[in-house]
Amino acid sequence: MYRREFVKQLSAAAAASALPWAGLAAPEAKWKFKLGYASITWGGNFEVALKEIASQGFKAMQISGITYGAFKDKPQQLIDLVKASGLQVPVSSAGNLRIEPDKKEGAFKSCFDVVKIHSQLPGAKIVQVTNGSRPQGRQPTTDELKQLASQMNEFGKKAQEELGISVVYHNHMRQLGETPEEVDVILQNCNPKHIQFLLDIAHYQWGGGDPVKALDQYRDLIKVIHLKDLGPVPDTTDKQFMELGQGTLDLPGIFGKLRQNKFKGWGIIEIDAVPKGSGRTPLQCAELCKKYMVEKVGYPI
């Protein structure tokens, strides 16, 4: 009888261990990756964002390009606000690089101006770059993707050598690097000494990719992960980004893979805007995400 009970318990344990979720919420689970929350949900209400992100127990944040645009003529005010909040800013959005000849130089300078400010913030480490150069009505060419990679290599080298800041490429819908195939061409042509990868799990799936597979494929390149969910816009066929646990992404598989790979970079919860039709506030979005991380993932906040 004891043997039958032992075998039953052993079988149950084996089945549980096969699930990507297994053990994630266990008190003894020890997480190595670092966690922050992005201010983008609050739009231009940056001071409110600082207060409400801190109120949820987060110690680090990512600043959006919207904020840098608002403070471009008064950077010291931004620096003082962040220092007063007690939050660290390991990651910032530097904005969009461009490959068009008439826009390339101006975009490069604008993004690098953000790096200069970011380097003065508490905990400054990494800036992300995206791009605004996706052609209309057609797929980008391989040459265009390689042009972006070349420009990012130059940008990353300059940021490292002059300011000690690392640069990551952020895959993004409606930009160069929308599909997994495009992302791969870009990354294959990036110098990993100067450019690494920010994997946005929801953008990647929306673009046709499998973020769980991407976590393995780019394991050595991923330095930052944007954590959010993906779901429908009510009464439409459109999609939108949502709070963790509110959409259709395989979050158990994603967090299970992060643990399996012993990811030690930054995970930034980034809800681009309050989901349409939800009636929630940015603070309520943050509360939902925190609840998911604490109760489902077992991440202490």
Longest dimension (CA), the chain: 79
Average pLDDT over residues 8-36: 53
CB 269 within 8 A of CB 37: yes
Measure the CA–CA gap between 148 and 150, rounded to whole angstroms: 5
Per-residue model confidence (pLDDT) at position 30: 65
CB 188 within 8 A of CB 229: no
pLDDT in tens, 24-69: 544 445 667 999 999 999 999 999 999 999 999 999 999 999 999 9
Helix axis angle, 46-55 to 282-292, nearest 10°: 30
pLDDT in tens, 201-257: 999 999 999 999 999 999 999 999 999 999 999 999 999 999 999 999 999 999 999
Measure the CA–CA gap between 146 and 208, rounded to whole angstroms: 21
Per-residue model confidence (pLDDT) at position 29: 54
CB 225 within 8 A of CB 201: yes
For residue 40, give the nearest of 285, 288, 272 by alpha carbon.
272
Per-residue model confidence (pLDDT) at position 12: 45
For the chain, list the domains and their CATH numbers.
28-297 (3.20.20.150)
Q: What is the Cα gyration radius of the chain?
A: 20
pTM above 0.85, yes or no: yes
Q: Is the pLDDT of residue 14 over 60?
A: no
DSSP 138: S
